[in-house]
């Protein structure tokens, strides 16, 4: 009996040792796999392969490598990917743990504020910004503070911070500053203050169609028709007509305050100067059609395509005028505009790209 008990005890002990060894081995294998994922993740990150880096780092956390630094990198990658809720959740989780050292906490706070800005929830970003030291020199935080001032209609402060951001980052903020001056003009009580603010806007962004429009409206309201029409003419001369709605509004203004013949002469002058702008060709082609000169319209669009390439909107007009059924099938394109900054395509013109936030960055495809 004692011998059997001893044998059974030895077997049980041996099985227990084997189980412990197997468990430790599996844990070691998992840890090694986690380290491998971590190394690959950092390698992909250094080489700009963000999607692969994200996949490897997520797997590393599942394999036990769940440090705050790894979670922060994953949060950054989620933000860059546009998955803002996941990024916000991770960053808030890191802050709520209360285990971060002061420098690391500052980094996470900055990242969280960037997420809220990207998600267009600046009011929440303000709560976290209050926890950052006022002397933080991160240029992206300066930009967020500028956006927040703009959001709160503190436009003078926004202008100062946009200038500070430009100095820190080396990037232009002229379009943003022009936008602030436009808002200042809209809020100003006196017309002279409005005109002054709009002229400041033009110093920073001389190609902003909205400034010329608003200046024209102010001049019209003061009975200064000649000055108003000069502002409108700048829209044509600077190739700022961005869509058919702009053309319609211009034609309406010239019809009310000058003449459509004058508008046509300006468009002809642009075409004669071999401008690459689409609008003069579209306007004149439609004008020829209204007068019954279909062949002239077709020839005009042919000239544009030969000189400047095949813009989708011009091809569509040409295909319809030429009644080319084959070309009409080819150019059945919904998107006519593309953002010059991020490449996002649109069916109709928008003044602010919804993807990257760039102002007046759309061009014909």
pLDDT of 74 strictly over 80: yes
Averaged pLDDT, 66-73: 78
Which of 191, 224, 257 delimits the end of a domain? 224
**DSSP secondary structure of 191-236:** HHHHHHHHHHHHHH-TT-HHHHHHHHHHHHHTT-HHHHHHHHHHHH
Task: Please report whether residue 309 resides in a domain.
Answer: yes
Q: In this structure, are 179 and 220 located in the same domain?
A: yes
Task: Please report whether residue 11 resides in a domain.
Answer: no
Q: In this structure, are 209 and 268 located in the same domain?
A: no
% of the chain with per-residue pLDDT over 70 = 80
Residue 343: give the domain boundaries: 334-365
Rounded distance between C-alpha atoms, residue 232 and residue 253, angstroms: 8
Task: Please report whether residue 33 resides in a domain.
Answer: no
Rounded distance between C-alpha atoms, residue 71 and residue 104, angstroms: 12
pLDDT digits (tens, 9 = 90+) for 25-42: 565 545 556 677 777 776
Q: In this structure, are 339 and 328 located in the same domain?
A: no
CATH number of the domain encompassing residue 220: 1.25.40
| Beta carbons of 121 and 113 less than 8 angstroms apart | no
Q: In this structure, are 266 and 315 located in the same domain?
A: yes
pLDDT digits (tens, 9 = 90+) for 105-143: 767 777 777 787 777 777 777 777 777 666 656 787 788
Count of structural domains, the chain? 3
Map tokens 């009580």 to a residue. 189
| Beta carbons of 112 and 129 less than 8 angstroms apart | no
Local confidence band at 66 (pLDDT 50, 70, 90 cut-offs)? confident
Specify the pLDDT at position 174.
Answer: 92
Local confidence band at 61 (pLDDT 50, 70, 90 cut-offs)? confident
Q: Return the biggest CA–CA distance within the chain.
A: 119
Q: In this structure, are 253 and 321 located in the same domain?
A: yes
| Beta carbons of 190 and 220 less than 8 angstroms apart | no
Specify the pLDDT at position 327.
Answer: 66
Rounded distance between C-alpha atoms, residue 332 and residue 316, angstroms: 8
Rounded distance between C-alpha atoms, residue 230 and residue 235, angstroms: 9
Local confidence band at 20 (pLDDT 50, 70, 90 cut-offs)? low
Task: Please report whether residue 85 resides in a domain.
Answer: no
Q: In this structure, are 301 and 328 located in the same domain?
A: yes
């Amino acid at each position: 009996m004692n011998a059997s008990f001893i044998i059974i005890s030895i077997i049980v002990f041996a099985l227990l040792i084997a189980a412990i060894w197997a468990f430790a081995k599996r844990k070691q294998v998992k840890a090694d796999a986690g380290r491998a994922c971590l190394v690959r993740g950092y390698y992909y990150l250094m080489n700009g392969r963000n999607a692969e880096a994200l996949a490897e780092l997520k797997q590393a956390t599942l394999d036990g490598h769940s440090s705050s630094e790894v979670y922060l990198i994953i949060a950054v990658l989620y933000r860059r990917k546009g998955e803002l809720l996941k990024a916000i959740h991770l960053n808030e989780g890191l802050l709520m743990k209360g285990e971060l050292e002061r420098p690391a906490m500052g980094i996470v706070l900055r990242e969280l504020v960037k997420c809220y800005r990207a998600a267009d929830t600046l009011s929440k970003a303000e709560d976290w910004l209050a926890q950052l030291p006022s002397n933080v020199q991160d240029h992206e935080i300066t930009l967020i503070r500028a956006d927040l001032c703009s959001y709160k209609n503190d436009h003078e402060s926004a202008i100062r911070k946009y200038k500070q951001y430009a100095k820190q980052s080396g990037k232009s903020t002229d379009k943003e500053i022009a936008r602030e001056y436009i808002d200042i003009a809209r809020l100003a009580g006196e017309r002279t203050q409005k005109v002054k603010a709009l002229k400041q806007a033009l110093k920073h962004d001389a190609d902003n169609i909205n400034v010329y429009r608003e200046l024209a409206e102010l001049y019209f309201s003061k009975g200064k028709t000649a000055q108003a029409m000069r502002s409108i003419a700048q829209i044509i001369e600077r190739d700022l007509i961005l869509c058919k709605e702009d053309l319609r509004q211009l034609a309406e203004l010239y019809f009310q305050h000058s003449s459509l013949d004058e508008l046509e002469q300006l468009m002809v002058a642009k075409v004669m100067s071999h401008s690459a702008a689409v609008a003069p060709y579209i306007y004149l082609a439609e004008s020829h059609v209204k007068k019954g000169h279909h062949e002239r319209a077709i020839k005009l669009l042919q000239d544009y395509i030969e000189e400047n390439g095949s813009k989708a909107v011009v091809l569509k007009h040409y295909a319809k005028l030429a009644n080319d059924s084959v070309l009409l099938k080819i150019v059945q394109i919904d998107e006519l505009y593309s953002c010059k900054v991020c490449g996002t395509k649109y069916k109709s013109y928008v003044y602010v790209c919804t993807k990257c936030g760039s102002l007046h960055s759309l061009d014909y495809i």
